[in-house]
Chains A and B, each alone.
Chain A
């Protein structure tokens, strides 16, 4: 480890020394304490930005001072048809303490609509091929007052399989089709309410992806687009973002969209679990006590109960910015604000990257982090949290700390089970999977009905999860699953396994050499490595 690297470069970049405390790592529903090798670089999330003191006032200001168009009130006419689309439960993570930002925005917007004689208003959840939100989740997201007034006839989930509820807008010049929700497309005004959690969210992706159908989605949710994105968390270098922008232009040709985007800070926990966001060297005796108490309690509980307990802890995010108006200028400002929170300046790639996988992902809210989701969190999200170049060197080793249990949610992830057990033993090649099986799963009548009438992810969704890890899969030399409780799940994913982190590091060093540079992402890591 060179002195240059050992120097403290940023408050979120810590180096392990002789007297450093062990670090807390998530491992699924558990939290473990690990002594890391001396010289290991640990990246922490930046301290939370200060939230706006009056959320409602900030929203009103944004609506009255929009970017690139007239204020919202000036666009309203009595008798017009308006649809308000909102992000689904995949944002933010975990679901935030009530009132949700969407509730506050909706309260302001709906009052304004009512005040201007606009009565034909529908609230649409832009879930695309994600699972439909349950009644309880929908109520929690918008509050009882809005829920009681609008549910179920005027507040509902988008249905990407309801042919009569969709309309084709056209194609981009690159022949990417766009079929959108009919109600949204035929409204006089579409208002989109977004919460920007990671830089990939929001912008043209909100409408063009959130409200489209399977055929439109498969034009850009495919392995080559992911491979061409370096990374998809860095909008200017993301092919996915470029495709969404092209589709967004098509949306803007046909629809009048008023975009409301919000940025939040990264205060995931406070009070009893806030120590998870702190540097362990700075722990007070009380922090250590809280951690031990949590670990003791969790150890006494069976896994489903631990999961339930973790999922019952709402996030404490605060809104840091709100902008409204035309999609592009609004999104630019929100992304800039997001990077203000998330960007961690990092110099030098590492040979071994360690990341614990917590029981948090956009796709397992109130559910199980199944093996495919562990894969997407490791090789998709955690690997792609960089700007300019990957944190891990090409051919380096990624160590994933997770039990890798073979457990799936039959209600939410039915097609994942077949994908994992039937397809992965045959091939892990994303291109082959897409060509040979994606349409079969997408059109499987059972999966279609479970998506439409139940709360299942669409039949094609596990494929997108696999493609999402394509960048990482092509970049890393090896993935080691530390703490995996079985051999077959890591083997099916193409990974090696180790009993614990120490063994995993030894295995990684035998591959990368004893002087290998090690970096650990301290979870929960909502941050982007801003590489020099």
Chain B
């Protein structure tokens, strides 16, 4: 454990091949965001290129020749362990590394990487997955979403979506893309970027979406359910209920998110598919959004059933 006692924050930057991850990250570094972070770049190809574009990074490690969520898993694990080890040896809490940014390869599923960190007995003590930012290309992103299950998996794992190249695309296409993204990842903030700089996006349009279902995928529409927990939620009931729900219906639940007041303070509870991240304690912020409300996003789930089932558990307490 580090002297400062806090875990490293890991931001995962994902997105399909050629969606503009490196460009976006380069601009963020230029603007001073992630200034103190250690940047990890993963590339599926054997000869890395991206790292030469990220000259402004404080510290940079390149993992090439394999995607970090599959065959390059070992290399990512080793790189993260090296960073944690070096940090523990810093000695001075003020100079300690606080942040890691991982730019994944275009073929990576960010959820798999988050799970790697969560399930590793050493990394879980050192690293907190704080943010998953997924970059979507306004020109070709939609085509990928129609044909590639991986592109959809990336979207559903996102905490924040960045739409790139929207200034070069037809505004109507961008509006349609926004609607598709809102359907695949409801309640996730979307922002626009051109060469990394923030730009405004056209509003999403309400039209019927034309998204083919993939073979083997759970059928049914993606639904967003909001579960009211009341002013003083029962943590014991909530954990019993949510853990059993994720065990039984893990293939249907895509995302869980909410802030829950407990005896230990306000906790940010979030899950990507069946992996629940260790809840982060939030500073006191009265009246904030999502307070004691749990958002569940899933395919073919019935919000009524979910509410009733939670109430049944509540009656046990």
Asked whether A and B interact, the reply is no
B residues near A (Cβ < 8 Å) are none
